[in-house]
């Protein structure tokens, strides 16, 4: 039984030459083994090609010849396929993968003969869903019964909660010393690939690059090793992550994992593509899932789902940080967006001036917030707290009105905002996604209207300099990027996750290089 989860790169090139070069790259990148997908080779000649692929291989090999009916590319009869796999065993392949449906036939075909250091993987793939824990358990038993040395089950996550059942089965197998590869395909199943070492999975797949996947949801080997620090993950590793939909674009995993590593904190931060927040939180209720960042569209639902909510987050009506309190497991919601954004704007105004912490530079100023969603509420509430006169402009005017009533501010339509200039030197904060990649030419307010503002903040941080900020700077305003808010809210989260001071210069360095 493996003492650590192996890292396997699937080789899906069309030619033997490309596969050899991909194998060398896999070794250079830190893989433990490669999966040679014979079904991806065009013009495959078993005797000649297997000899080349296996003779001087630089890494242990898992040989797979996947038929179409199990999600592969091979369309012929079983016998030539079995013969190629038998040859691979003879040539010293460390592993062969055979599908459960024909495993008994294959074991008979090789007359049960397996060399000493060879392991037969018997696999079952479900491209639609993930069965119940009981069904998965009985699948394991059937796979074992046909003579598997290693059980492989790959299912599909329809919801991220499906992955929890796979973790349960892997843990159960490990307790019984049954080596198991248990993976859940699709973007909702990504944690099954990253958290393998925590639950005792025998092997996980990492691709050479994003285009060279052999199944949906596979991360790259570089991400597994360098973003998720998979070699450091073990049974005691705490899991944190970003809950959102979508989450693929989030820079949170890069930032938090690097920061955890820098202080030797035993934790991993993963993307969590969540459809239903309540289901997610009740499924992953163990103390191991210790805290979460929360983004679109779940920040408002998080207020309801937490057992306790910090009064400021409650007033804002949005939670962006959920901590599972170690003492009693209760979920406590906070809002670090508020502190991050407001302190960034305050420091922007203060600039190099002496900082007087007792008086906010926002006091008495007109503070215009565009947007009335989670970030909009955080900025509006925060500005009001600091004594600013708050004005909210939103596409859906009713939401602007609702927020203005809540905090004691003034509401505008977006059209009204164009001609709104009661005074010079106002502060503007865009909290809509207007101007975010890929629509970088969009902007929430005309350049002409920007003339009334002394400082412009944009919550959007991809790109770092949005059209709004560029035009505001050209109009002579101080500009504050959403990146500053991002860094500060992430530092706040880091401190809540770890109970330790955030490594600010490292986090700034990482963010600036993203
Ligand atoms: P949200 O709760 O979904 O709110 C979105 C807001 O944007 C709503 O007011 C919505 O107006 C408005 N909006 C969306 N598309 C629009 C369009 N095409 N035209 C006009 N208005 C539009 O989202 P959120 O959590 O507040 O996030 C908003 C933005 O802030 C995102 O770009 C996010 O990336 C960014 N953000 C940045 C940070 C950071 O650290 N820098 C942190 C949090 C959020 P309606 O009410 O009319 O729908």
Q: Are 482 and 398 in contact (CB under 8 A)?
A: no
**Catalytic annotation present for 125:** yes
* pLDDT given for residue 1 in this prediction: 45
Examine the domain organization and report whether 423 and 499 are in the same domain: no
341 domain-assigned: no
* 472-497 pLDDT, tens digit each: 999 999 999 999 999 999 999 999 99
Q: Which atom of ligand 1 is nearest to the CA of 337?
A: 42
Stretch 81-86: mean pLDDT, rounded?
A: 98
CA nearest ligand 1 atom 21, residue: 395
Number of domains in the chain: 3
| CA nearest to 53, candidates 76, 87, 79 | 87
| pLDDT value for 389 | 98
pLDDT level of residue 77 (50, 70, 90 thresholds)? very high
Q: Are residues 123 and 52 in the same domain?
A: yes
What CATH code is carried by the domain that includes residue 373? 3.40.50.720
Please choose from 317, 336, 345, 433 the residue to mutate so as to test ligand 1's pocket, defined by most ligand atoms within 8 A of CB.
Answer: 433
Quick check: is 350 in a domain?
no
- 202 plus 263 within the same structural domain: no
- Report pLDDT for 335: 94
Catalytic residue among 39, 49, 152, 386: 152
Mean pLDDT of all residues in 294-313: 94
Among 235, 268, 299, the domain-final residue is 235
Predicted confidence at residue 374, as pLDDT, reads 84
pLDDT in tens, 23-71: 999 999 999 999 999 999 999 999 999 999 999 899 999 999 999 999 9
In whole angstroms, what is the distance from residue 256 CA to residue 293 CA? 11
Domain with 110 in it: 6-235
Question: Quick one: which H or E segment has residue 81?
Answer: helix 78-90
Query: Between vectors from CA 457 to CA 456 and to CA 462, what angle results, nearest 5°?
Result: 125
Asked whether 489 lines ligand 1 (CB < 6 A), one says: yes
Do 305 and 200 share a structural domain? no
**Of ligand 1's atoms, which has the minimum distance to the CA of residue 296?**
25
Count of Cβ atoms closer than 10 Å to residue 295 Cβ: 22
CB 154 within 8 A of CB 124: yes
CB 162 less than 6 A from any atom of ligand 1: no
Centre of ligand 1 from the C-alpha of residue 251, in Å = 17
Q: For this structure, is 245 an active site residue?
A: no
Q: Identify whether 299 is a catalytic site residue.
A: yes
Listed residues 206, 235, 264: the one ending a domain: 235
Q: Where are the alpha helices (DSSP H) in 110-237?
A: 133-145, 162-175, 190-194, 196-199, 221-222
* Same domain (yes/no): 476, 494: no
Please check whether residue 344 lies inside any domain of the structure. no
Are 217 and 83 in the same domain? yes
Assess whether pLDDT exceeds 90 at residue 502.
yes
Banded pLDDT at 347 (limits 50, 70, 90) = very high
Instruction: Output phi, psi for 207, to 5 deg.
Output: -85, 160
Smallest CA-to-CA distance from 494 within 510, 484, 507 is with 507
Q: How far is the CA of 391 from the centre of ligand 1 (A)?
A: 16
Helix locations, 146-273, DSSP H: 162-175, 190-194, 196-199, 221-222, 252-262
The tens digit of pLDDT for each residue in 223-241 reads 999 999 999 999 999 999 9
Q: Does residue 119 share a domain with residue 207?
A: yes
Q: Tell me the CB-side half-sphere exposure of residue 328, using CA atoms within 13 A.
A: 5
Q: What distance in Å separates the CA atoms of residue 490 and residue 339, rounded to the nearest whole number?
A: 11
Q: How far apart are CA 291 and CA 493, in angstroms?
A: 9
CB crowding 247-279: b at 16 or more within 10 Å, else e: beebbbbbbbbbbbbeeebebbbbbbbbebbee
Rounded to the nearest angstrom, the distance between the alpha carbon of 475 and the centre of ligand 1 is 24
So what's the pLDDT on residue 221? Answer: 97
pLDDT tens digits, 429-442 = 999 999 999 999 99
Our answer on whether the CB atom of 212 is closer than 6 Å to any ligand 1 atom is no
Instruction: State the Cα–Cα distance between residues 172 and 95, nearest whole angstrom.
Output: 23
For the chain, what percent of residues have pLDDT higher than 70? 98
Token pair recorded at residue 192: 């099954």
Instruction: Quote the CA–CA distance of 259 and 256 in Å, as a whole number.
Output: 5
Confidence of residue 352 (pLDDT cuts 50, 70, 90): low
Say if strands 366-370 and 331-334 run parallel, antiparallel, or are unpaired: unpaired
**337, 384, 389, 458: the active-site residue:** 337
User: Which atom of ligand 1 lies closest to the CA of 436?
Assistant: 32
Report which ligand 1 atom has the smallest distance to the Cα of 486.
40
Q: What is the pLDDT of residue 351?
A: 85
Angle at 54 between CA 48 and CA 55, to 5 degrees: 85
Q: Which atom of ligand 1 is nearest to the CA of 462?
A: 34
Ligand 1 pocket test target in 345, 375, 411 with most atoms within 8 Å of CB: 375
Q: How much is the pLDDT for 354? A: 56
Q: What is the pLDDT of residue 359?
A: 87
pLDDT tens-digit readout, 314-335: 998 889 999 999 999 999 999 9
Q: Are residues 499 and 474 in the same domain?
A: no
Q: Is the pTM of this model over 0.75?
A: yes
CA of 461 to the centre of ligand 1 (A): 12
Asked which of 73-82, 84-93, 207-216, 223-232 is least confident by mean pLDDT, the reply is 207-216
Is the distance from CB of 237 to CB of 290 less than 8 angstroms?
no
Give residue for tokens 């024909």: 102
Quick check: 92 pLDDT over 90? Answer: yes
Task: Report yes or no on 86 lying in a domain.
Answer: yes
Q: Residue 121 falls within a domain, yes or no?
A: yes
The CA–CA distances, whole Å, from 252 to 406, 409, 480 equal 31, 33, 20
State the Cα–Cα distance between residues 295 and 32, nearest whole angstrom: 35
Q: Report the CATH number that the domain containing residue 113 is assigned in CATH.
A: 3.20.20.70
Neighbouring residues of 245: CB distance < 8 A, sequence distance ≥ 6: 273, 274, 275, 296, 297, 298
- The rounded Å distance from CA 438 to ligand 1 centre is 15
* 2 confidence band (pLDDT: 50, 70, 90): very low
pLDDT digits (tens, 9 = 90+) for 187-210: 999 999 999 999 999 999 999 998
List strands edge to edge, sheet with 410-412: 410-412, 389-393, 366-370, 426-430, 453-458, 478-480
Q: Is 509 a catalytic residue?
A: no
Q: What is the pLDDT of residues 451-469, one digit of tens each?
A: 999 999 999 999 999 999 9
Report the CATH number at residue 259: 3.40.50.10860
- Say which of 238, 245, 298, 299 is annotated catalytic: 299
Mean of all residue pLDDT scores within the chain? 95
In this predicted structure, the answer to whether residue 428 has a pLDDT above a threshold of 80 is: yes
Q: Same domain, yes or no, for 324 and 443?
A: no
Ligand 1 atom with minimal separation from the 297 CA: 3
**HSE toward the beta carbon, residue 33, CA cutoff 13 A:** 20
| Of 327, 428, 432, residue with least CA distance to 383 | 428
Cα–Cα distance measured from residue 54 to residue 139, given in angstroms and rounded to the nearest whole number: 31
Question: Are 494 and 469 part of one and the same domain?
Answer: no
Does residue 461 sit in the same domain as residue 492?
Answer: no
Tell me if 352 is assigned to some domain.
no
pLDDT digits (tens, 9 = 90+) for 209-223: 988 888 888 999 999
Question: Quick check: CB of 337 below 6 Å from ligand 1?
Answer: yes
In a domain, 421, yes or no: yes
Q: 355-364, pLDDT tens digit by residue?
A: 566 789 999 9
User: Mean per-residue pLDDT for 487-511?
Assistant: 96
Q: 347 lies in a domain? A: no
Dihedral, 250, 255, 258, 262 alpha carbons, nearest 10? -160
Whether residues 191 and 98 share a domain: the answer is yes
């Amino acid at each position: 039984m493996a003492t650590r989860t192996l890292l396997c790169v699937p080789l899906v090139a069309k030619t033997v030459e490309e596969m050899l070069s991909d194998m060398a790259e896999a070794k250079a990148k830190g893989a433990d083994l490669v999966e040679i997908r014979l079904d991806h080779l065009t013009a495959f000649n078993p005797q000649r090609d297997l000899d080349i692929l296996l003779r001087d291989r630089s890494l242990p090999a898992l040989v797979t010849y996947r038929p179409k009916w199990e999600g592969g590319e091979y369309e012929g009869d079983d016998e030539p396929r079995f013969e190629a796999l038998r040859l691979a065993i003879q040539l010293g392949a460390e592993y062969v993968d055979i599908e459960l449906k024909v495993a008994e036939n294959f074991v008979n075909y090789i007359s049960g003969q397996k060399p000493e250091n060879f392991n037969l993987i018997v696999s079952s793939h479900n491209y639609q869903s993930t069965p119940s824990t009981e069904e998965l358990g009985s699948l394991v038993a059937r796979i074992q019964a046909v003579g598997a040395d290693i059980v492989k089950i790959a299912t599909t996550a329809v919801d991220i909660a499906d992955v929890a059942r796979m973790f349960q089965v892997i843990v159960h197998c490990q307790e019984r010393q049954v080596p198991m590869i248990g993976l859940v395909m699709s973007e909702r199943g990504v944690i099954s690939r990253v958290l393998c070492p925590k639950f005792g999975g025998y092997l996980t797949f990492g691709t050479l690059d994003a285009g060279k996947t052999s199944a949906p949801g596979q991360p790259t080997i570089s991400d597994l090793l360098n973003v998720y620090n998979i070699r450091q993950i073990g049974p005691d590793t705490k899991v944190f992550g970003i809950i959102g939909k979508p989450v693929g674009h989030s820079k949170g995993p890069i930032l938090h994992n690097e920061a955890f590593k820098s202080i030797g904190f035993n934790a991993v931060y993963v993307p969590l593509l969540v459809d239903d927040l309540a289901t997610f939180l009740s499924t992953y209720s163990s103390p191991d899932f210790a805290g979460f960042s929360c983004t679109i569209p779940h920040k408002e639902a998080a207020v309801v789902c937490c057992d306790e909510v910090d009064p400021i987050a409650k007033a804002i009506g949005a939670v962006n940080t959920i901590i599972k309190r170690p003492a009693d497991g209760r979920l406590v919601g906070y809002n670090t967006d508020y502190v991050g954004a407001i302190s960034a704007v305050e420091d922007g105004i203060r600039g190099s001036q002496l900082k007087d912490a007792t008086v906010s530079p926002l006091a008495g100023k007109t503070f215009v917030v565009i947007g009335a969603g989670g970030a909009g509420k955080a900025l509006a509430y925060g500005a009001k707290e600091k004594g600013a006169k708050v004005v909210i402009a939103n596409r859906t005017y009713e939401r602007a009105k609702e927020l203005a009533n809540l905090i004691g501010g003034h509401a505008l339509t977006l059209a009204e905002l164009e001609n709104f200039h009661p005074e010079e030197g106002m502060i503007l904060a865009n909290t809509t996604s207007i101007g975010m990649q890929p629509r970088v030419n969009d902007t929430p307010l005309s350049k002409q209207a920007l003339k009334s503002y002394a400082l412009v903040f944009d919550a959007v941080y991809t790109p770092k300099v949005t059209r709004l900020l560029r035009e505001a700077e050209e109009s002579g305003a101080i500009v504050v990027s959403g990146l500053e808010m991002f860094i500060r809210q992430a530092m706040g989260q880091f401190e809540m996750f770890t109970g330790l001071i955030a490594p600010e210069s490292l986090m700034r360095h990482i963010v600036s290089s993203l």
